[in-house]
Amino acid sequence: MPATASDLDRLAINTIRTLAMDAVEAAKSGHPGTPMALAPVAYAVWKDFLRYDPTDPAWPNRDRFVLSCGHASMLLYGLIHLAGIRRGRPGTADHAEPAVSLEAIKKFRQLDSVCAGHPEHHMTAGIETTTGPLGQGCGNSVGMAMASKWLAAHYNRPGHVLFDYDTYVLCSDGDLMEGVAAEAASLAGHLKLDNLCWIYDDNSITIEGETELAFSEDVGRRFEGLGWRVERVADANDAAALARALTAFKGETAKPMLIIVRSVIGYGAPTKAGSHASHGAPLGADEIKGAKEAYGWPAEAAFLVPPEVPAHFAATMGARGAAARTAWEATFETTRKADPAIATELGDFLAGRLPTGWDGKIPVFPADPKGLASRVSSGKVIAAVSAGVPWFLGGSADLAPSTMTLVPDAGSFGAGHYGGRNMHFGIREHAMAAACNGMALSGLRPYCATFFVFFDYLKPALRLSALGDLGVIYVLTHDSIGLGEDGPTHQPIEQLASARAVPGLLVFRPGDANEVAETYRTVLPRADRPAVIVLSRQNMPTLDRTGLGQAAGLARGGYVLKDADGGKPDCILIGTGSELQLCLDAAAALAADGIKARVVSLPCWELFSEQDAAYRESVLPAAVTARVACEAACGFGWERWLGPQGIFVGMRSFGASGPAGKLYEHFGITTDAIAAAARKTLGR
């Protein structure tokens, strides 16, 4: 370290390094090299710049720190431990416990430790987002920066600043090679997010070897072209240069910043500790001993934390954060007294509550044989929910006119006018979803939209929505061959099965406008669970519910839409979406033949499977084995509800170009086909 770093700074940095080495060695698994190399960089951010109160890890105006290169997780766990971050907020039982204890670090990557192989925010306080899939943390950070700007535009008042937090990101060569990071960087530059700082660890190493094998671009010039300010630090151990670059970020008022930092993986250890193996494997006892000797560290000591180091963090980051939080609380109290209505709104927002009467304007749609495309009814419901939930906001990947997600009079979010609630993500599905995860982590309720066939473009971020318990709402339209003439490139076939395979994700395919309304009424209270809402391009009838089950049954995932005469069906017809009407028509045709059919609407498999056994039996009685399901998609997964004797009517290939009606006939998704399948299951 240069002379500008104090002995206490060196001690703290080497504590971070040695904790990483020892934890990875104990686990016999992990990545020690990057935490060793980046310890000075992360330390500089935390000690002197990060506005964060370790005693209140959920303080709303804290700066965010994102470790996008999640394989370096021991860097973050060491920082959390040394900074003394508590497990919970003041006044909670968890406040007495450290978020990451030394015992937890000793059990790094083990089943009973909060120190997972890659950081998981829902497990451990001090972790702002779940990272590991490279580039995702970069994408999340853009959403966090957007959220800070939006909150500032809505709740700051002259002289009374409640929201102005910055977001810092540590990212690697691997992060910047990923497409999601490129999309996110493009969006951030366009939006001029001057509260966003990515610190790029330019160490020229990936798992296969030197980056020159596959990566030779000028990263700085690329980011300058994307509208970022770029600063360079030639040596990760140069404390003064790091401080200058970070100070420049704090003074930047027009652009996000990329700080390119040159590092050597495993810095400070003998030659082998800087090898490729240290990127993803333990160093071994001999190399650890050599590294510790190079640091002037007791060679035989393991998991050593000199008491001066936590005290130093408390005197710097801790004192600065506590003062900032205390000042913020005084500002909040002033705002509460000056504007009680805003205080009530903020109280709901900060508590994660929906405002009283939030769903009061959701429409009830009158029966209509012609009906509406469910994307159209969804647009009407989004507008209604927006009127009741100020922090419900979102947009689409350049498809708002088709996905019906543009809210009238809500304004557009953009550089210089951050108060709008209509987000324009551009044709960047992956970054859109990753940014929405960042917004959800900031307390907002975001939705994002595209055509369902492009589900695959955003799936990696959606998976992390589910893994991280983030209530992002995915509005996915043009749900089937019913979109017609655009043909098989745009007709989703396997996407429903793919979505339903994601643990924790709620997947809805509502069958009429009132089921659409109930979908939003069901989804919004679940801020801890993401949802996919799959919607049609073509019209579907708005059902006359006289004599039918009410749409409120959707809240249980599935319900009896129309029962057989006498309530004891010969067979059960199960439908979702636009095929629900086909099932109703087939039931009428079967009744003319003396066959009693029950029609079940099953718009959300996940919620239905979570109901008690008695309710599921009341809808799908085990004794009725003659079952037919109809959905204009592949049938993968339907066997769960059909049983061994049931028949699926749907797609077994990609679609084709042509008018929707012709396509349904061509692929045999018709009333007659459903009725014929029912007769076959009954042996008639």
CA distance linking residue 620 with residue 631, whole number of Å: 18
Q: How far is CA 11 from CA 297, 312, 436, in A?
A: 9, 10, 39
Phi and psi angles of residue 411, each rounded to the nearest 5 degrees, phi first? 75, 160
Candidate list 178, 231, 252, 429, residue with the active-site label: 429
Asked if 529 and 469 touch (Cβ cutoff 8 Å), the reply is yes
Radius of gyration of the chain measured on its C-alpha atoms: 28
- Please choose, from the candidates 659, 657, 664, 617, the residue with its C-alpha nearest in 3D space to the C-alpha of residue 641: 617
Q: How far is CA 508 from CA 272, 511, 516, 560, in A?
A: 53, 9, 9, 16
Q: What's the full length of the chain, in residues?
A: 684
CA distance linking residue 602 with residue 515, whole number of Å: 11
Asked if 581 and 372 touch (Cβ cutoff 8 Å), the reply is no
- Please choose, from the candidates 405, 394, 390, the residue with its C-alpha nearest in 3D space to the C-alpha of residue 356: 390
DSSP state of 627: E
Verify whether residue 208 is a known catalytic residue. no
What lies within 8 Å, CB to CB, of 74 at 6+ separation is 19, 20, 23, 24, 30, 31, 32, 35, 105, 108, 115
3-state SS, residue 199: strand
Three-state SS for 281-313 is CCCCHHHHHHHHHHHCCCCCCCCCCCCHHHHHH
Place of tokens 């998991």: 303
- Sequence letter at residue 567: G
- Chain-centroid distance of CA 399 in Å reads 20
Active site residues: 429
